[in-house]
Amino acid sequence: MDLHNMIPSSKEIIVTTPHPTAAFVAARAGQMAINTNHEILGVIENMSYFESKVTGEKEYVFGKGGGGDKLADVLDTKVIGHLSLQQPFEEDELFAPSVYQKDHPNGQEYLEIARQIIKQF
């Protein structure tokens, strides 16, 4: 509440996971944004799925559809990204946890999220 009041005009991205409990917590943050007239640019669902390197199949280890999609509906916005549960390429010279190269699947998703955000301005 204090942060929302300290920054009277801002735009927010709400981040959740597919798990309903995380979505509930994120919904509270989203509702506070609405109550303080902050614009919600969209919802990002982190850890949406795990993609098997062996089969290429997506496994929804935290569930599917119960986080980002429902939260976006509740907050009357859209999902602007689904980030998979993956590590950055370890062989990269510039390896750093949670930093993805642009050819990495999550790096590509981050670029698409950025494009969607930029289009809103």
Residues present in the chain in total: 121
38 has a pLDDT exceeding 80: yes
For residue range 54-113, list pLDDT tens digits in order.
Answer: 898 999 988 887 789 999 999 999 999 999 987 656 665 666 666 777 788 888 999 999
* CATH number of this structure's domain 2-119, picked from the four choices 3.90.320.10, 1.10.730.10, 3.40.50.300, 3.40.190.10: 3.40.50.300
Non-local (6+) Cβ contacts of 97 within 8 A are: 87, 88
Determine the pLDDT at residue 32. Answer: 92
User: Is 10 within 8 Å of 38 (Cβ atoms)?
Assistant: yes
